Structure 1
Amino acid sequence: MSNAMKKEMATPQTAKNILAIENLDKSFGSVKILKDINVAIEPGDFLVLVGPSGCGKSTLLNCIAGLESSTNGDIRIGGRSMTGVSPKDRDIAMVFQSYALYPTMTVGKNITFGMKVRGVAEQEQQRKLDEVAKLLQIDHLLNRKPSQLSGGQRQRVAMGRALVRDPQLFLFDEPLSNLDAKLRVEMRTEIKRLHQTLGASIVYVTHDQIEAMTLATKIVVMKDGVIQQAGTPNEIYNQPANMFVADFMGSPSMNLIPASAEKQGDATKISITRPDMEDIVLDFDREIEGLKSGKKSVILGLRPENITDSTNQHITKGQIADCRVDVVEPAGSDTFVVTNLAGKQVTARLNADATIIAGETASFAFDLSKASVFEPETGARIA
């Protein structure tokens, strides 16, 4: 992880931060769930917490909401410490995975119920209801009960209930995980549109890295209660801090290929061994940390789109190699091809009309301009 990235993660609370989490720990008994969490976002940011099940992302969201108390550290919302502040006084609104709608109330009453409890005037309740219902395109559903709605419509109602509060911070806890694949894509677009329209500050939890990449202005990747990397979607995708992030983010995930790197004068060569075929030797145009002279074992990280047809005009002749094709997977707009390099299954992303046949040998172009290089023992990025 770069020093700049570490500095950003540890940024202290400033006047421009809507949310700042500083040195946060959370334990349940002797089990430490969150370990020294440092994150800060500015007003209008869309922060996505992403990671596998059990990584601590939902626990972190619950700590921000005040549903869980932290063991150590501090959370500030709008510059105010949340230590000892109850959830209702944090100026937040939360959208849950389960929608949590009142089954006996109409859509309109579900949305306005919180305002009614807080004593908001009926005229203001109606104004906000009309505004939000139009924004979410559910104004024709206001007299229905939740049981009469589809999953996507229920999720819109849950979002509407949060939006009428106009809080400093919105919290989303895996809101799309109960929807089918097509509806998830549609609702993802709606949430993106809402963020762009309202400029709202959002913290969003998901295990789906596609959601993370498409929605976020900033992503925090977590594993075992530890932040692995924080950055923009572009930084996370193209400059993963370690092999975990490289493997977790991206679909298909980054190819992680055992290789060796060697200095040859001013040039750096990366060699990949193959069973029953000669090594692939590729030119690498960046410095590799720890490589002075001789050979160094490395893990070469290549996205599928960086292994392409040999007709690619941007690849020099020295970056082309013949490989045996094991599997061909047509995917509409692309064709994915699986080959074997250094004992690993490696996926290449080719044009949809690529004429590739399983069991035969084909020429592949290797684009190392966006390649990553990792230390095999620690998994850390070294180039």
Structure 2
Amino acid sequence: MSPILDIKNLYKSYGTTEILKDINVSIEPGDFLVLVGPSGCGKSTLLNCIAGLEPITGGSINIGGKDMTHVSPKDRDIAMVFQSYALYPTMTVAKNITFGMKVRGVDQATQDRKLAQVAQQLQIEPLLNRRPGQLSGGQRQRVAMGRALVRDPKLFLFDEPLSNLDAKLRVEMRTEIKSLHHNLGASMVYVTHDQIEAMTLATKIVVMKGGVIQQIGSPAEIYNRPANLFVADFMGSPAMNLIPAKAHRADEGTRIEITRKSGEPIVLTDTKNRDLPEDVILGVRPEDIADPDLRGAEAAQAAECLIDMVEPAGADTFAVMQLGGKHVTARLHAETTAKPGQPKRLSFDLGKVSYFAPETGLRLN
């Protein structure tokens, strides 16, 4: 099966300023690709290049097996949902959704059938005779999605569609978009700066920084095996703890030494990763530091840590301490006995840790 979207060696420059550098991405039919990264990383520019709204400086873009590099946006067989909704204020919801079909000369019966279908999918049937000014932000976003859905395109493009919504509505709309993707089997490219959106929606994630792809992979790959320090720090909430440490070979494995605020260093033994340089950055997710009495992981090892701060968060409690000169967060159970200013024995799951080179930031294991 050929990719529905295939981008090869794409460059984009404004004058002498390079915005996108050697972008190579492809997705299969039915994939949900999320482009994620901080503001200014080039993700929206890349989406605009795919849509044909921005000319590219070099490389190629294939959609549905056809070279679309220099093809007009209207002929690329795509539908785009914008952050700003971009609805016609004087038209009703029904006319906003069917306007594109009317312009393309689609017959009235087909317009009515597709309108009824998407109105039911998006649960906006009672809104069809209203105008955009009479709708909430979430309702307007549903209408913008409906206008894209009636196109039945090869590729859907979403440019931060939820960033104008409040937190609760964002979660609801995220669920709806995920459900739509599942029900339609459509191919989607979605831009966001929110790594939670990326993790929950994507079948494939592209993490970007400074116009360069840092890593491409499934949500599980990105989360569990980040390619470098940037991805490790950016993907995850709370972020992965990145702790300077020393690694020493020993008969039983590798001894990992982590300095504490006071007292002797913490010493852990990693039996899995044996070929590490002396200076490493130890990457450990907050959920992999736990109360020993509540963890049964085989590779877990306990060490005493001085707790600086405790943050109750419902089902979880976050405990913050200083290790290796860095603030380190542990995600503990609500019933933890951890208290600020007191030592607490905590368990580190070395079966799930990552190691990075301090000089290059690249993953070592």
TM range (shorter): over 0.9
- Residues 1:214 and 2:200 aligned together: yes
CA distance in 2, matches of 1:269, 1:24: 44
Secondary structure in 2 matching 1:319 = strand
Q: What one-letter code is carried by the residue in structure 2 that aligns with 1:356?
A: A
CA distance in 2, matches of 1:205, 1:365: 37
Task: Give, in whole Å, the separation in 2 of the partners of 1:51 and 1:33.
Answer: 14
Instruction: Please give the secondary structure, in 2, of the residue aligned with 1:260.
Output: strand
Q: 5+ residue gaps in structure 1? A: 1-14
Indicate the SS of the match to 1:166: coil
Q: What residue number does 1:86 align with?
A: 72
What are the residue-to-residue correspondences of 1:221-232 with 2, within 5 Å? Answer: 221-232=207-218
CA distance in 2, matches of 1:318, 1:50: 32
Compared with structure 1, are the counterparts of its residues 126 and 317 closer, same or farther at alpha carbon in structure 2 (3 Å cutoff)? closer
> Identity over aligned residues, as a percent?
70
Paired AA for residue 253 in structure 1: A
- Picking from 287, 304, 311, the partner of 1:322 is 304
Q: 1:227 to 1:61 in 2, by over 3 A?
A: same
- Cα separation, 2, equivalents of 1:189 and 1:317: 35
For each residue in 1:94-143, what CA deviation from the matched residue of structure 2 results, as whole angstroms up to 9, or x when unmatched? 00000000000000000000000000001100000000000000011100
Question: 1:214 deviation in Å?
Answer: 0.0
3-state SS in 1 of match to 2:264: strand
Match of 1:74 among 60, 64, 89: 60
Kept after mapping to 2: 8 A contact 1:288/1:373: no
- CA distance in 1 between counterparts of 2:358 and 2:275 reads 13
Q: CA deviation at 1:234?
A: 0.1
Contact 2:300/2:349 (8 A) holds in 1:
no
**Alpha-carbon distance, 1:287 to partner:** 3.0
The secondary structure found in structure 2 opposite 1:162 is helix
Opposite residue 327 of structure 1, the aligned amino acid is: M
- Which SS does the other structure have where 2:296 is aligned? coil
Displacement, 1:290?
5.2
CA distance in 1, matches of 2:207, 2:258: 29
Match in the other structure for 1:31: 17
Contact kept, 8 Å, 1:152 with 1:179, in 2: the verdict is yes
- Which of 57, 60, 83 is matched with 2:46 structurally? 60
Q: Does residue 1:371 correspond to 2:325, yes or no?
A: no
Q: What TM-score does the superposition give when structure 2 sets the normalisation length? A: 0.98
CA change 1:216–1:101 in 2 (3 A) is: same
Structure 2 runs not aligned, ≥5 long = none
Q: Map residues 86-125 of structure 1 onto 2, 5 A cutoff.
A: 86-125=72-111
Distance 2:274 2:2 in 1: 37
Separation (CA, whole Å) in 2 of partners of 1:235 and 1:362: 32
Show the counterpart of 2:119.
133
Name the SS for the 1:325 alignment partner. Answer: strand
2:143 to 151, 154, 157: 157
Compared with structure 1, are the counterparts of its residues 90 and 284 closer, same or farther at alpha carbon in structure 2 (3 Å cutoff)? same
Alignment of 1:1-383 (within 5 A): 15-265=1-251, 267-287=253-273, 289=275, 291=277, 296-315=278-297, 319-383=301-365
Contact kept in structure 2, 1:97 and 1:178, CA below 8 Å: yes
> SS of the residue aligned with 1:278?
coil
Q: SS of the residue aligned with 1:283?
A: strand
Shift, 1:285, TM fit: 2.9
Give 1:288 shift: 5.2
Paired amino acid for 1:339: M
Describe the SS at the equivalent of 2:53. coil
**Deviation at 1:356?**
1.8
Shift of 1:88: 0.2
Contact 2:214 2:227 in 1 (8 A): yes
Code of the residue aligned with 1:35 in structure 2: it is K
8 Å contact 2:284–2:353 — kept in the other structure? yes
Distance 1:318 1:217 in 2: 30
Q: Does structure 2 conserve the Cα–Cα contact (< 8 Å) formed by 1:17 and 1:79?
A: yes
**2 CA distance for matches of 1:73 and 1:211?**
29
Contact 2:252 2:269 in 1 (8 A): no
1:294-313 CA-to-partner distances (Å, cap 9, x unmatched) read: xx100000000000112134
Distance 2:298 2:161 in 1: 46
Quick check: 1:52–1:223 contact (8 Å CA) kept in 2? yes
| TM-score between both structures, scaled by the size of structure 1 | 0.94
- Deviation, 1:274, is 1.3
CA distance in 2, matches of 1:285, 1:131: 57
Structure 1: distance between partners of 2:176 and 2:41: 27
Instruction: Report the CA distance between 1:275 and its aligned residue.
Output: 2.5
Q: Is the 8 A contact 2:300 2:347 kept in 1?
A: no
The two structures, once aligned, show a CA RMSD in angstroms of 1.2
Deviation string 1:31-55 (CA, Å, 9 cap, x unpaired) is: 0000000000000000000000000
Shift of 1:339: 0.4
Task: Name the SS for the 2:142 alignment partner.
Answer: helix
